[in-house]
A = this chain, B = another copy of it.
């Protein structure tokens, strides 16, 4: 399976897990295109207001942003073979769980990435996933295995 795979990296934006996966895949010489949401927190929150005009009400400020971010997210999931969903311990990351549900309904393969402390809270999503990882390196190992020759 030498053709390029597309892997969408959904979820937490405050740690270096994406870089560790991307670096690991590069070291392992895997033919992957990684896609991701916009990970600049401020830009992601304010994209609607900065492009389409400011809103007094924070609900509509957020609505404008979420509509635009969804263009990127949905397109990325549609293109992806695999969706990796990362849950950190600081934020609720409901959007990552939403992405996971959306991706499962679209028939995509799912890999979760989180600490074992979150196992119980994430049991439905782990239950729908192909694999539940604790480290980015495990994700890279899975990519290497499924894309490679063994």
List the interface of chain A (C-beta within 8 A of B): 1-3, 5, 33, 35, 38-40, 43-44, 47-48, 51-52, 57-60, 62-76, 78-79, 81-82, 87, 91-95, 97-107, 109, 111, 116, 119-133, 138, 141-142, 145-147, 149-150
Question: Which of B87, B102, B130 touches A68 (beta carbons < 8 Å)?
Answer: B130
Please determine whether B58 and A120 come into contact, CB atoms closer than 8 angstroms: yes
Please determine whether A146 and B72 come into contact, CB atoms closer than 8 angstroms: yes
Q: How many copies does the complex hold?
A: 8
A74 to chain B, nearest CB (A): 6
List 6 tightest A-B contacts by C-beta distance, closest first: A101-B101, A66-B127, A105-B105, A97-B97, A101-B102, A62-B123
**With the chains together, A128 CA to B124 CA distance in Å?**
15
12 contacts between A and B (CB under 8 A): A59-B116, A63-B126, A66-B127, A69-B127, A70-B128, A71-B130, A73-B124, A75-B109, A78-B81, A91-B121, A97-B97, A98-B125
